[in-house]
Amino acid sequence: MIATVKAHAKLTVTLAVTGVRADGYHLIDAEMVTLDLADTLSIDADAESTSLTATGAYSAGMPLDDSNMTSKALRLCNRHAAVHLDKVIPHGGGLGGGSADAAAILRWAGYTDLIAAANLGADIPFCMVGGRARVQGIGEIITPLPFVARSFTLVIPPLSCSTPLVYRAWDDLGGPTGDGPNDLESAALVVEPQLVRWRDRIREAVGKPPTLAGSGATWFVDAHNADLAAALPDAHVVFASTVA
Give the residue numbers marked as catalytic: 10, 123
Partners of 41 in the β-ladder: 5, 85
Contact of 107 with 129, CB cutoff 8 Å: no
CB 17 within 8 A of CB 26: yes
In terms of Cβ atoms closer than 10 Å to its own Cβ (0-12, 13-18, 19+), residue 45 is: middle
In this structure, the chain runs to a length of 244
Q: Give the amino acid at 160.
A: S
What burial letters (b/e) apply to 93-118, b meaning 16+ CB within 10 Å? bbbbbbbbbbbbbbbbbebeebeebb
Closest to 12 in 3D by CA, of 200, 171, 191, 178: 178
Cβ atoms within 10 A of the Cβ of 189, count?
18
Q: Is 214 in a helix, a strand, or coil? A: coil
- Residue 191: name the closest of 212, 221, 220, 222 by CA: 212
**Residue 218 CA to chain centroid, in angstroms?**
10
> CA–CA separation, 213 vs 217, rounded Å?
7
Short-list 191, 197, 208, 173, CA closest to 17: 173
